[in-house]
């Protein structure tokens, strides 16, 4: 065996497997002698320091220049002895210029070398026809489409062509029948086509004319006459019959009924829509309850109305009103003729707002309330002038 020392597994007493005897002790002595001889041989045969110094200890590579640097055991660098490996000229990547038909070689040092390969590239050429149209899309893919309206009878299978001609014949026959039915329909509707005998008297239009004449005669008998022409705002109420029309039946109007209006001399907005611009007549019937008796007054007037914003804040314009009706005279006032309560009406604007109507009832006695029926009739609309 090549080992100078042979291991012996020693075991403690009382084990008898590893006794301290002549054999085991001599084995240890032989191992020591062999070890000593090996050490002597190594010492006598080893290389000297001078012999090892010129040996190469390390080799370095400079990627930027593609050269090697050798370093000896004694740290001497052979920097002057550099061999260029030309690694910078190795090919790192390839590219292709489709438009120029050139192969691009990219070296490790970044230099790009272009090689013309057009002689090796033979592109396929696609020719358009009267039926097929070719186009080349991204990636060099070829798309073929059928031109619209280019398919002729010669392109169809014989059985398809036969079916088409049969259907074409049916369509032509249906067209002839449709024209005949159209003329017959026109004959029954208006006449004048010559396809039926007596069609000018036997048609829907003639029968409608006769029916209208009969209806007009019947209406004259029932109502005693016809009403014709435009009747104004309430035309739909006076379509037929003998009528007596006044201005109040013709002119457009707006009405509103208000209950529990405080008689407190303050102004209240009136919710009423659709007042036409122009000259309007106003009529207000006001009922005021005092104790057990109810007094009423009728107020009439005329005002000009137009929807126009103003830059003035809190601008008002009172509407003059004429009064007629009951007069309430408190006992403390003796024989005075002034009414205890009075109704007022005005137009009011806020800044950048359209006008609104407001009402107020002067207080005659505390705790009173009123009911107001307000009607506005458009006498002359600016929108229709």
pLDDT in tens, 288-320: 877 666 777 899 999 988 888 777 777 888 999
Strands 278-290 and 56-62 turn out to be unpaired
Return the closest-CA partner of residue 274 out of 349, 352, 353, 375: 375
In angstroms, the first-to-last Cα distance of the chain is 137
pLDDT of residue 229: 53
Q: What is the mean pLDDT of residues 271-291?
A: 85
Q: How confident is the model at residue 27 (pLDDT cuts 50, 70, 90)?
A: confident
pLDDT of residue 9: 81
pLDDT of residue 17: 82
pLDDT of residue 338: 45
Give the CA distances from residue 256 to residues 59, 74, 146, 275, 293, in Å, rounded to whole numbers and listed in that order. 112, 121, 74, 12, 24
Residue 376 in any domain: the answer is yes
The more confident residue out of 177 and 144 is 144
Contact between residue 249 and residue 232 where contact means Cβ atoms under 8 Å apart: yes
Does the pLDDT value for residue 231 go beyond 60? no
pLDDT of residue 299: 92
Q: How many helices (H) and strands (E) does the chain have?
A: 5, 16
Lowest mean pLDDT among 54-63, 135-144, 246-255, 321-330: 321-330
- Tokens encoding 354: 């359209």
Residue 323 in any domain: the answer is yes
- Report the distance separating Cα 191 and Cα 184, nearest Å: 9
Residue 144 in any domain: the answer is no
The more confident residue out of 158 and 370 is 370
Contact between residue 339 and residue 296 where contact means Cβ atoms under 8 Å apart: no
pLDDT of residue 98: 76
- Residue where a domain stops, chosen among 28, 46, 64: 46
Q: How confident is the model at residue 256 (pLDDT cuts 50, 70, 90)?
A: very high
Q: Crossing angle for the helix pair 204-223 and 158-189, nearest 10 degrees?
A: 30
Question: Mean pLDDT of all residues in the chain?
Answer: 76
Contact between residue 66 and residue 86 where contact means Cβ atoms under 8 Å apart: yes
Q: How confident is the model at residue 243 (pLDDT cuts 50, 70, 90)?
A: low
Residue 139 in any domain: the answer is no
Number of domains in the chain: 2
Does the pLDDT value for residue 385 go beyond 70? no
pLDDT of residue 340: 61
- Report the distance separating Cα 347 and Cα 356, nearest Å: 6
- Which of 263-267, 339-343, 344-348, 379-383: highest mean pLDDT? 344-348
* Domain range enclosing 327: 252-384
Return the closest-CA partner of residue 376 out of 273, 287, 293: 273
- Tokens encoding 198: 């007596």
SS3 track for 55-79: CEEEEEEECCCCEEEEEECCCCECC
Does the pLDDT value for residue 81 go beyond 50? no
Q: How confident is the model at residue 223 (pLDDT cuts 50, 70, 90)?
A: low
Q: How confident is the model at residue 282 (pLDDT cuts 50, 70, 90)?
A: very high
Express each pLDDT in 348-359 by its tens digit.
988 888 888 999
- pTM of the predicted structure, to 2 decimals: 0.37
Helix H or strand E segment including 361:
strand 356-362
Q: How confident is the model at residue 178 (pLDDT cuts 50, 70, 90)?
A: confident
Q: Report the percent of the chain where pLDDT is more than 90.
A: 8
- Tokens encoding 331: 């006992």
Q: Give 293's strand partners.
A: 290
Give the CA distances from residue 214 to residues 221, 227, 257, in Å, rounded to whole numbers and listed in that order. 11, 17, 46
Torsion angles phi and psi, residue 254, rounded to 5: -130, 135
Q: How confident is the model at residue 232 (pLDDT cuts 50, 70, 90)?
A: low
- Report the distance separating Cα 212 and Cα 208, nearest Å: 6
Sign of CA dihedral 241, 242, 246, 248: negative
The more confident residue out of 330 and 248 is 248
Write the DSSP string, 107-151. Answer: ETTS-EEEEE-GGG---------SSEEEEE-GGG-EEEEEPTT--
Q: What is the mean pLDDT of residues 221-234?
A: 53
The more confident residue out of 278 and 119 is 278
Residue 229 in any domain: the answer is no
Task: Identify the residue whose tokens are 């914003």.
Answer: 309
Q: What is the mean pLDDT of residues 162-183?
A: 75
The more confident residue out of 321 and 243 is 321
Q: What is the mean pLDDT of residues 146-162?
A: 73
Write the DSSP string, 177-232. Answer: HHHHHHHHHHHHHT--SSSSTTTTTSSHHHHHHHHHHHHHHHHHHHHSSB--S--G
Does the pLDDT value for residue 197 go beyond 80? yes
Residue 273 in any domain: the answer is yes
For the chain, the C-alpha Rg in angstroms (whole number) is 62
Does the pLDDT value for residue 96 go beyond 90? no
Tally Cβ neighbours within 10 Å of residue 199.
19
- Report the distance separating Cα 32 and Cα 10, nearest Å: 18
Express each pLDDT in 44-68 by its tens digit.
877 777 777 778 788 887 766 667 7
The contacts of residue 133 (CB under 8 Å, 6+ apart) are: 144, 145, 146, 147
Q: What angle do CA 214, 215, 219 make, to 5 degrees?
A: 120
Lowest mean pLDDT among 30-34, 36-40, 185-189, 354-358: 185-189
């Amino acid at each position: 065996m090549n080992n100078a020392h042979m291991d012996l597994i020693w075991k403690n007493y009382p084990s008898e497997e590893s006794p301290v005897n002549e054999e085991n002790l001599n084995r240890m002595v032989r191992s020591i002698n062999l070890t000593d001889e090996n050490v002597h041989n190594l010492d006598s045969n080893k290389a000297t320091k001078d012999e090892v110094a010129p040996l190469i200890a390390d080799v370095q590579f400079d990627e930027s220049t593609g050269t090697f640097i050798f370093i000896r055991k004694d740290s001497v660098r052979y920097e002057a002895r550099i061999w260029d490996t030309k690694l910078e000229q190795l090919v790192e990547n390839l590219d292709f210029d489709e438009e120029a038909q050139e192969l691009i070689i990219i070296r490790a040092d970044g230099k790009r070398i272009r090689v013309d390969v057009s002689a090796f590239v033979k592109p396929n050429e696609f020719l358009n026809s009267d039926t097929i149209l070719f186009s080349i899309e991204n990636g060099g893919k070829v798309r073929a489409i059928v031109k619209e309206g280019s398919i002729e009878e010669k392109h169809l299978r014989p059985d398809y062509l036969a079916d088409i001609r049969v259907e074409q014949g049916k369509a032509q026959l249906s067209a002839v029948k449709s024209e005949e039915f159209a003329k017959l329909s026109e004959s029954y509707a208006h006449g004048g086509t010559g396809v039926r005998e007596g069609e000018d008297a036997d048609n829907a239009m003639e029968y409608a004319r006769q029916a209208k004449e009969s209806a007009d005669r019947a209406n004259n008998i029932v109502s005693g006459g016809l009403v014709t022409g435009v009747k104004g705002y309430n035309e739909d109420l006076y379509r037929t019959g003998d009528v007596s029309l006044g201005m109040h039946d013709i002119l457009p109007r707006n009405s509103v009924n208000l209950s529990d209006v405080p008689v407190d001399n303050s102004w209240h907005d009136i919710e009423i829509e659709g007042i036409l611009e122009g000259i309007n007549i106003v009529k207000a019937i006001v009922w005021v309850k005092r104790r057990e008796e109810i007094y009423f007054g009728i107020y009439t007037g005329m005002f000009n109305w137009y929807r126009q914003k103003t830059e003035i804040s809190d601008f008002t314009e009172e509407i003059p009103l004429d009064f007629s009706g009951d007069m309430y005279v408190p006992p403390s006032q003796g024989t005075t003729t002034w009414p205890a309560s009075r109704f007022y009406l005005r137009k009011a604007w806020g800044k950048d707002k359209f006008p609104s109507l407001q009402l107020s009832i002067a207080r005659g006695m505390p705790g009173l309330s009123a009911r107001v029926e307000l009607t506005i009739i458009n006498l002359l609309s600016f929108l229709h002038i």
